[in-house]
Structure 1
Amino acid sequence: MPTVHAYAAQNASSPLAPFQIERREVGEGDVQLEILYSGVCHSDIHQARSEWGPALYPMVPGHEIVGRVTAVGERVGRFQVGDLAGVGVMVDSCQHCDSCAEGLEQYCENGHTTTYNSREKPSGNLTFGGYSTSIVVREEFVLSVPGSLDLKAVAPLLCAGITMYSPLRNWKIGPGHRIGVVGLGGLGHMGIKLAAAMGAEVTLFTTSASKADDALRLGAHHVVVSSDRAAMKSARSSFDFILSTVPTSHDLNPYLGTLRREGHLVIVGAIDPVGVHGGVLIAQRRSVAGSNIGGLAETQEMLDFCARHGIVADIELIAMQDINAAYERMVKNDVKYRFVIDMASLKGEQAAD
């Protein structure tokens, strides 16, 4: 089995450090990528620090992967050596349950296999993510990356992008809709760009008035400071749809009050408990829902949509060796709006060994 250079956490409290992993040989249905860029998602921190339940170590995070195909198995038909390709949050699913049959592999009833902090089937080997020089993935879970876009800024589309695109498409957001995005971070900035490109009228809800200029630059039409009671009152019953990207427990009721009759608020950020007053829902037949990334076909659709509209993430490119400092900055919300690792920095470290 090929040995690959990576950065890994050995336990919940250790910093990420150089580590060697083994990738499986390229099987008949597999695609091998040389990883060029790997996005840094906040969930990488949560999982590396075992904040979402018991984690599997050693852990190589990274599920926003862009690279170039270096080998394909004999049954692979969609890719050839030299193609640009990407890998997102999933690397496998059962492929036969109702959800998989509908192209909703993220809801696989038998459990999808995540790109890291999971176990391959049937081997039981740990999955290792994009903080590495290469990866081998079954063809069905590899995506075509449009060459017209800035590759390094494409990487976050494979998690942040699809996380926002999927609910917008599921609820058929488009021209004539007034939508709100709660929070301006890695998810929120993509939500603004995508919803605006779909033709919706977009408002950012933020606790910080200083973010207004950036929100307008990204494509928002309006900004509401959610701590301003007068502003929130003036926004009551205004919106068809709201996306909440806030990653922690928070009170949804002020935002629910800004929904029109039969409006929807969709949570994509928080997995902690959130507060909802039933009367706010009942009064106007409003609803609260959740959404989790997207299936493979929808993710490809999202990439193609972004290519047509020239949409990529706003990023800060870093070296692999700076990942621990980047984690600390992310915890402090000190990034606009996504870190991306230039994996050439890890290849350079490999060459120096």
Structure 2
Amino acid sequence: MPTQAHAYAAQSGESPLAPFNFQRRDVGPGDVSIDILYCGVCHSDLHTARGEWGGTLYPCVPGHEIVGRVTAIGGDVTDFAVGELVGVGCMVDSCGHCPSCEASEQQFCETTGMVGTYNGTDTISGGHTYGGYSDHIVVKQDFVVKVGHDEKDLAAVAPLLCAGITTYSPLRHWKVGPGQKVGVVGIGGLGHMGIKLAAAMGAHVVAFTTSPDKVEAAKALGAHEVVISKDDAAMAAHANSFHFILNTVAASHDLDRFMVLLRRDGTMTLVGAPEHPHPSPSVWNLLMNRRSLAGSPIGGIAETQEMLDFCRDNGITADVEIIPIDQIETAYARMLKSDIKYRFVIDMASLKQQPA
């Protein structure tokens, strides 16, 4: 039978998130039911809840950085058992049979498009999907991943399901590794993960920031060098030298300042989605040195599992601040001011203290 879920939801783009009850579907043959222990707070949550990207379906229950414990499995489930620690990221369904899905690149599903963990079309129950700001979730086993970190680290694992895979995927795709000079632009929720991951992959990591007060913090994350990107001389000293640059900044800015830092055949990949378009980069900076400008979203399910295993093996988690769910609006306000190092995570046990 369907089960009642307790959650926090936005009823409109202007209303604050507040307690909300709804029905989760019954556990089907291929489903996994998960008691949500922690849910990370992504900037996408705020944009969607506020209707800033358009197309928000209300009530909106955000949250796609989910870690929890399996409480029930369907009869056809073979990869998971009750009691296991698991994660759910940004998607919960796709067509399953197009070339991208067959390659475990479900984020690029060519038939239906991926189904978002929240604000997506619910292909099973109808209506739209509700995310991780809730006490439990029911997900197809094909979109659940195993968490191998110690249970004491679960809160810091949650952001890996979005911020982690968003930065891991391009680093892997462009084959970042030893002997390479890699730049990471921006030191926030995404950037701090990019620094940790690139360093663990063996690259020489240079962090770029506009804030001098972030220099020591970037080095503590694993950056070998830190450049203040407003300093023309410091930027010029790195011209034509980078194999790869991961640009995590989600605000419109001058891409040419970084394009000229790439060496021959170097690539800068954008993972941040700005509210307003970037100024168009100079074609000449692309032509010269055969440079490339690319973009990358999240990774597929197999790559997400690979990322979690890599982070487990290398002792990598996100730097987090744990909050009760009734502080979500305060967290959103602080996010807008970049007043967080580097990711908020909701302790979902706090939901039990909220009105039913």
TM-score range, shorter chain: over 0.9
Aligned match of 2:110 = 109
Counterpart of 1:288 in structure 2: which amino acid?
Answer: L
Say whether 1:175 aligns with 2:202.
no
Task: Name which of 227, 241, 245 aligns with 2:244.
Answer: 241
Q: How many angstroms apart in 1 are the aligned matches of 2:342 and 2:282? A: 32
1:70 alignment partner in structure 2:
71
Q: Give 3-state SS (helix, strand or coil) of 2:190's partner.
A: helix
The size of the alignment, in residue pairs, is 351
Q: Distance in 2 between matches of 1:45 and 1:152?
A: 19
Match of 1:189 in 2: 192
- 1:148: Cα distance to partner? 2.8
Quote how far apart the aligned CAs of 1:323 are: 0.3
Give me the whole-angstrom Cα distance separating, in 2, the residues matched to 1:119 and 1:20: 19
Map 1:42-191 → 2, pairs under 5 A: 42-110=43-111, 111-148=113-150, 150-191=153-194
Which AA in structure 2 matches 1:132? S
Give the Cα–Cα distance (whole angstroms) in 1 for the partners of residues 82 and 130 of structure 2: 22
Aligned-pair CA distance for 1:273? 2.1
> What is the Cα deviation at residue 291 of structure 1?
0.4
Q: Shift of the alpha carbon at 1:122?
A: 4.3
Alpha-carbon shift at residue 349 of structure 1 (Å): 2.5
Q: Which amino acid aligns with 1:143?
A: V
Amino acid at match of 1:45: L
Paired letter, 1:302: M
Shift of 1:53: 1.5
Q: Is the 8 A contact 2:64 2:161 kept in 1?
A: yes
1:21 matched residue in structure 2: 22
1:121 is matched by which residue type in structure 2?
T
Distance in 2 between residues matched to 1:270 and 1:116, nearest whole Å: 18
Contact residue 25 and residue 125 of structure 2 kept, 8 A? no
Please give the alpha-carbon distance, in whole angstroms, between the structure 2 residues aligned to 1:284 and 1:147: 42
Q: For residues 147 and 175 of structure 1, what CA distance do their matches in structure 2 show?
A: 25
Tell me, what secondary structure is at the counterpart of 1:266?
A: strand
Q: TM-score scaled to structure 1, two decimals?
A: 0.98
Does 1:305 pair with 2:307? no
Report if aligned partners of 2:260, 2:285 keep a CA contact under 8 Å in 1.
yes
Shift of 1:203: 0.5
After TM superposition, what 4+ stretches of structure 1 lie above 6 angstroms from structure 2? none
CA–CA distance in structure 2, aligned partners of residues 24 and 300 of structure 1? 25
CA distance in 2, matches of 1:122, 1:137: 10
> 1: distance between equivalents of 2:124 and 2:95?
11
When normalised by structure 2's length, the TM-score is 0.97
Seq. identity, %: 60
Partner of 2:354: helix, strand, or coil? helix
Does residue 279 in structure 1 map to residue 284 in structure 2? yes
- Counterpart residue type for residue 342 of structure 2: Y
Contact kept, 8 Å, 2:19 with 2:354, in 1: the verdict is no
Q: Report the Cα distance in structure 2 between the residues aligned to 1:270 and 1:73, rounded to whole angstroms.
A: 37
TM-superposed CA distance for 1:312, in Å, is 0.1
What letter is aligned with 1:36? Answer: L
Residue type of the alignment partner of 2:248: T
In the TM superposition, what whole-angstrom CA distance separates every residue of 1:189-229 from its partner, at most 9, and x where no partner exists?
Answer: 00000000000000011101110000000000000101001
User: Can you give the 5+ residue segments of structure 1 that lack an aligned partner in the other structure?
Assistant: none
